[in-house]
Structure formats: structure tokens, C-alpha cells
Chain A
Amino acid sequence: GNSVTQMEGPVTLSEEAFLTINCTYTATGYPSLFWYVQYPGEGLQLLLKATKADDKGSNKGFEATYRKETTSFHLEKGSVQVSDSAVYFCALSHLLGGYSTLTFGKGTMLLVSP
């Protein structure tokens, strides 16, 4: 089946540290991959996406590369800020009954301290 596995959190970093959140997936076919972010008390927001192998998605200093050979889509940021504290969800698209839907990982909480 289709599934997404993320590293368990919380990930605790100091401001300006380098961030990596690991994400691996299992899928049939060639899914698109996504990272969503959820700030406290809010819904999920699309952070970035990649639609085919070797694509790099990037937004707001975050980036992730679609690696088909390792079935991974790790999220990275060179220098995190306190305002990046949130829960990050990796997701993949797949067909369900002929229509594409998103399957999410369980989320990784990031806590950035000043």
C-alpha cells in the first residue's frame, strides 16, 4: 500500500541551526510528494512539493529533493528561526478509486529556541 514514514519528534533546535526532517515513502507508481506545515491552532499549509524524481521543491528557505532511488523526501533548512516552530507533515499523492488523494505521515514537531 501507500504510506509515509517520518522521523518522530519533537526535534529541538537552537535558532540558526541546520534542520533535517526525514521522510520516506512506499508507493505504487510515481507519486507526487509534499511537505505541509501546521502552526499551533491552525490548519495545514502547503510548504513545498515535487512532482517527479530529482525535482527539488523549495519555499521560505526550506527545500526537499525527490529521491526515487532511496524513496525519500527529506526536508532541510539551513538556518531555522523561532517562527519555524510547528508540526511538519510529509505527504504523497496516490490514486484511490481512480481519484488522487493525499496520504500524510504522522507529523514531526519542530521546536526552535532563541
Chain B
Amino acid sequence: DSGVTQTPKHLITATGQRVTLRCSPRSGDLSVYWYQQSLDQGLQFLIQYYNGEERAKGNILERFSAQQFPDLHSELNLSSLELGDSALYFCASSVGQGTNYGYTFGSGTRLTVV
């Protein structure tokens, strides 16, 4: 157990729907990062939060949004889902904002859009 908790582990939903993925960071970690992993694109950085504030945005679609709450858990919202959104979504956390702290990853949420 890495200490980063992601729920649900699996999600199957239809095109056009909206889903929310949840991440609880490791205790003491203030930064949360979201990544999308697909076979063709590999690991793509989506967005980063630090202590409730958005810090960096990567290749995140406008249909996707995220937030980090005062208790530091984070949610990734995916709307108007398309078949191509099917992927593994990982959350990672770190104690600080710099990459040298090392990221701790959760075990991911596998999203299947049918």
C-alpha cells in the first residue's frame, strides 16, 4: 500500500456521461498530480495541485476538471465522455512542489467508456 488511495478502482460508463475520480494523498503530502495512462499515449500529465491551489496544467481537455479540497483530497471530473477517454487514471502525491521529492502513485482508476 503506497498510502495514496484512489477510488473507484474500476468504472464502466457510457459515452456522454460524467464521472468523478477521487484521490486521497499520502498523509503529510500537500501536492497532488493527475496522470492519464493509455496504450498509445503513454503517461500524460493532466494537472497539479498544491495545498488546494492549481499549480500546473498539462494536456488536460476542457471537458476535464479537477480540484483539491481543504482536507487535501482531490477529485478529477470527466464529462461528455468519449470512447477515447478510456484509460487508467493515476493520482500521485508528494510532500512538496518540486519533483526531487519523488512522487508516490496510487494504484489507479481504470475507466472504460462504452
Contacts and interface: CB of A to CB of B under 8 A. Distances in A.
Interface size class of B (residues with CB under 8 A): 20 to 34
B84 interface: no
Given A41-B107, A43-B105, A45-B2, A102 B99 contact: yes
A26 B2 CA distance: 30
Interface string A89-114: 10001001111111111110000000
Contacts of B74: none
Given A44-B90, A97-B55, A99-B55, A89 B43 contact: yes
Contact of B56 (A96, A104, A105): A96
B89 to A, nearest CB: 11
A104 B42 contact: yes
Given A43-B108, A107-B43, A102 B57 contact: no
B99 A101 contact: yes
A22 to B, nearest CB: 16
Contacts of A103: 45
A51 interface: yes
Interface in B29-60: 33, 35, 42-43, 45, 48, 50, 55-58
Interface in B8-36: 33, 35
Interface of B: 2, 4, 33, 35, 42-43, 45, 48, 50, 55-58, 90, 92, 97-100, 102-108
Given A44-B43, A102-B103, A105-B42, 4 more contacts: A32-B99, A41-B107, A43-B108, A45-B105
26 contacts: A32-B99, A42-B107, A43-B4, A43-B92, A43-B105, A43-B106, A43-B107, A46-B102, A49-B100, A49-B102, A51-B100, A89-B43, A93-B99, A93-B100, A96-B45, A97-B57, A99-B50, A99-B56, A99-B97, A100-B99, A100-B100, A101-B45, A101-B56, A104-B42, A104-B43, A107-B42
